[in-house]
Amino acid sequence: MSEESGKKKFRSAAWFGRTDKDGFIHRSWMRNQGWPSHVFDGRPVIGICNTWSELNPCNAHLRTIAERVKIGVWEAGGFPLEFPVMSMGETNMRPTAMLFRNLASMDVEESIRANPIDGVVLLCGCDKTTPALIMGAASCDLPAIVVSGGAMLNGKFQGRDIGSGTDVWRFSEAVKGGTMSLQQFMEAESCMSRSGGHCMTMGTASTMANMVEALGLGLPQNAAIPAVDSRRLTLAHEAGRRIVAMVHEDLRLSRILTREAFENAIRANGAVGGSTNAVIHLLAIAGRIGVRLSLEEWDRLGREVPTIVDLMPSGRFLMEDYFYAGGLPAVLRALGEKGLLHKDTLTVNGKTIWENCENADNWNSEVIRGFDRPLVEHGGIAVLRGNLAPDGAVLKPSAASAHLMKHRARAVVFENIEHYQERINDPSLDVDETCVLVLKNCGPKGYPGMAEVGNMGLPPKVLSKGVTDMVRISDARMSGTAYGTVVLHTCPEAAVGGPLAVVQDGDMIELDVEARRLHLDVSDQELQARLANWRAPETGIRGGYQELYVKHVMQANTGADLDFLVGCRGSEVTRESH
């Protein structure tokens, strides 16, 4: 932005604000859409970055949202231009949507920088779409505002509420354990997904929508308004108006995404019982904007925060209930009153986070419980260390079983996901409920893409006893809708020769969440001897993006970004097109 002529010149003026051949070309081709001359008069050009896709059901309503954003942009004197980017639907993409988060972030970054855009509205919803859009936008550092798509309405089945994901795991275990018929299982499908929107549990999509609001990147109530509530359209309309003002104010992402904003988000994640996936995504976003954030900070900051939101998978309720109870502003107010919020962090509406939430009401203390009666005393994310995870591993205490938080037992080892699938249903598998299930080669490089298989299902012979949880350890991730005493993101991962790679059937493993310890009970000498003999497994990758990904992906403890994408490269374009 420059002010040479007395009138602010925005970035897009380098395309549309010139009288030479290039200006002709930039405007002329745009005119084939019927735009009149006055839209090129130097007003802010607002990109609407849309992850709409019919292959991504959670984001399939985002065209409607985009139309409302456009109305707001026009109203405020901007020129809205919608553009598509890669969309990752969690339920359909193989081998795992996470493989493509970084690819989509490149699409976003390059689409923003290459085009005549002064500010951008990011439309996202399903798990990976939110971090991908923020990562890409952060690497450009233009004014940006996020509009999340909102969650589906509560699932309803057999007279009770059911939650996306969370009840799928329950139902599928119930079918295996013989307490639910296949017909009932099939009936539950349409009862679970009753409207547009993303998963309505506190899964990764809802968690990331909360993170958007806690970071200051979305308007108040961005996290919780249901996808089909008319107030979601109002929020989109207002976001359109606001982004134009943000361009005038030069309110860039780097002014919002400060260290304090990340600290607020980490604490908010603890309070809402958010997904472990938020750890990886926030580390990656911080890396893009240049904030030094470490895995340890998740433990340090989150440890003192009780989980006060009673939503599945940790608790009982769903996102619709959360919105009616007051949503994130009520949670942020509670954090602020406890001294657990940096109150002065700036948000996209130009106000501080505290100004946005200091008068927020809590209308239902069953859903948003007070600090005096939390759902889980110590929420947040536990970061474990030990000879099995020298660079860390994570566990979500609010989703784990109290009786397994300190546990020493024999390992039952699966070399990869296929090995697990072959063996888990075998009645002769030597396993009981006291064992620790260990799954290898499901990390960023190993899978590749770090699949959400860390909450691997229990063996049928254990389930049939009515047992619902066992300690499980892997280098994989876990769906935010899942639950259990599950150690995830073990670093370094098995595929790069981390100690996880050399765990053997029968080894004793100690988990002590309180002491943050994850220990393989073999001597240092034995461990070193095993590691010296370890050979990397074949990847089977035959070129393409996967090859680039596996060469460059970093470990989970730093956000699993591609090494060459870390950092903010700004919005400057070095060469013109013609």
Q: Which stretch binds ligand FES (CB under 6 A): 73-81, 105-113, 198-206, 517-525?
A: 198-206
Compute the half-sphere exposure of residue 574: CA atoms within 13 Å on the CB side of its CA: 2
The string of DSSP codes covering 48-101 is EEE---TTSGGGTTHHHHHHHHHHHHHHTT-EEEEEE-----TTT-SS-GGGGH
Pick out residues in 82-101 that bind ligand FES (CB under 6 A).
90-91
In the bound complex, what is the minimum distance in angstroms from residue 334's beta carbon to ligand FES? 26
Q: Which stretch binds ligand FES (CB under 6 A): 196-204, 286-294, 513-521, 524-532?
A: 196-204
Kindly tell me which of 126 and 239 has the beta carbon lying closer to ligand FES. Answer: 126
The residue within the footprint of ligand FES, chosen from 121, 126, 272, 279 (CB under 6 A), is 126
Q: Which stretch binds ligand FES (CB under 6 A): 106-114, 195-203, 350-358, 455-463?
A: 195-203
In the bound complex, what is the minimum distance in angstroms from residue 126's beta carbon to ligand FES? 3
Strands 45-50 and 119-124, sheet pairing: parallel
CB 152 within 8 A of CB 197: yes
CB 150 within 8 A of CB 229: yes
User: What is d(CA 223, CA 101) in angstroms, rounded to the nearest whole number?
Assistant: 20
Q: Which stretch binds ligand FES (CB under 6 A): 112-120, 197-205, 348-356, 450-458?
A: 197-205
In the bound complex, what is the minimum distance in angstroms from residue 59's beta carbon to ligand FES? 8
In the bound complex, what is the minimum distance in angstroms from residue 123's beta carbon to ligand FES? 14
- The amino acid at 418: E
Burial 539-557 (b: 16+ CB within 10 A, else e): eeeeeeebeebbeebbbbb
Kindly tell me which of 126 and 388 has the beta carbon lying closer to ligand FES. Answer: 126
The residue within the footprint of ligand FES, chosen from 199, 217, 311, 367 (CB under 6 A), is 199
Which ranges of 412-536 does DSSP label H, i.e. alpha helix? 417-423, 460-463, 524-533
Kindly tell me which of 131 and 492 has the beta carbon lying closer to ligand FES. Answer: 131
Pick out residues in 149-178 that bind ligand FES (CB under 6 A).
164
In the bound complex, what is the minimum distance in angstroms from residue 42's beta carbon to ligand FES? 39
Kindly tell me which of 57 and 444 has the beta carbon lying closer to ligand FES. Answer: 57
- The amino acid at 173: E
Closest CA to 443 of 531, 296, 565, 555: 555
* Inter-CA distances, 462 with 12, 466, 478, Å: 62, 7, 21
In the bound complex, what is the minimum distance in angstroms from residue 209's beta carbon to ligand FES? 10
Kindly tell me which of 199 and 424 has the beta carbon lying closer to ligand FES. Answer: 199
Compute the half-sphere exposure of residue 125: CA atoms within 13 Å on the CB side of its CA: 31
Closest CA to 47 of 111, 132, 141: 111
The residue within the footprint of ligand FES, chosen from 198, 241, 267, 489 (CB under 6 A), is 198
CA angle 563, 565, 571 (to 5 degrees): 160
Task: Classify 568 as helix, strand or coil.
Answer: coil
User: Given the structure tokens 């013109």, which residue do they identify?
Assistant: 576
* DSSP type of residue 556: G
Kindly tell me which of 12 and 276 has the beta carbon lying closer to ligand FES. Answer: 276
In the bound complex, what is the minimum distance in angstroms from residue 267's beta carbon to ligand FES? 23
The residue within the footprint of ligand FES, chosen from 58, 138, 331, 382 (CB under 6 A), is 58
In the bound complex, what is the minimum distance in angstroms from residue 164's beta carbon to ligand FES? 6
Tokens coding 338? 């406890």
User: Given the structure tokens 């707001």, which residue do they identify?
Assistant: 72
In the bound complex, what is the minimum distance in angstroms from residue 5's beta carbon to ligand FES? 47
CB 341 within 8 A of CB 264: yes
Kindly tell me which of 127 and 493 has the beta carbon lying closer to ligand FES. Answer: 127
Kindly tell me which of 480 and 484 has the beta carbon lying closer to ligand FES. Answer: 480
Kindly tell me which of 87 and 139 has the beta carbon lying closer to ligand FES. Answer: 87
Closest CA to 485 of 178, 276, 305: 276
Kindly tell me which of 150 and 459 has the beta carbon lying closer to ligand FES. Answer: 150
Beta bridge partners of 520: 509
The number of residues that bind ligand FES (CB under 6 A) is: 10
In the bound complex, what is the minimum distance in angstroms from residue 188's beta carbon to ligand FES? 16
Closest CA to 93 of 82, 108, 104: 104
Kindly tell me which of 127 and 213 has the beta carbon lying closer to ligand FES. Answer: 127
Kindly tell me which of 58 and 556 has the beta carbon lying closer to ligand FES. Answer: 58
Dihedral-angle region of residue 487 (phi above 0 means left; psi in -120 to 50 means alpha; beta otherwise): beta
In the bound complex, what is the minimum distance in angstroms from residue 318's beta carbon to ligand FES? 13
Please, which residues have CB within 8 angstroms of residue 164's CB and are 6 or more apart in sequence?
152, 155, 192, 193, 198, 199, 200, 201, 203, 481
The residue within the footprint of ligand FES, chosen from 121, 205, 246, 268 (CB under 6 A), is 205
Kindly tell me which of 127 and 310 has the beta carbon lying closer to ligand FES. Answer: 127
Tokens coding 139? 């690497």
The residue within the footprint of ligand FES, chosen from 118, 127, 167, 433 (CB under 6 A), is 127
Q: Does 392 bind ligand FES (CB under 6 A)?
A: no
Q: Which stretch binds ligand FES (CB under 6 A): 47-55, 134-142, 199-207, 241-249?
A: 199-207
Kindly tell me which of 90 and 167 has the beta carbon lying closer to ligand FES. Answer: 90
The residues binding ligand FES (CB under 6 A) are: 58, 90-91, 126-127, 164, 198-199, 203, 205
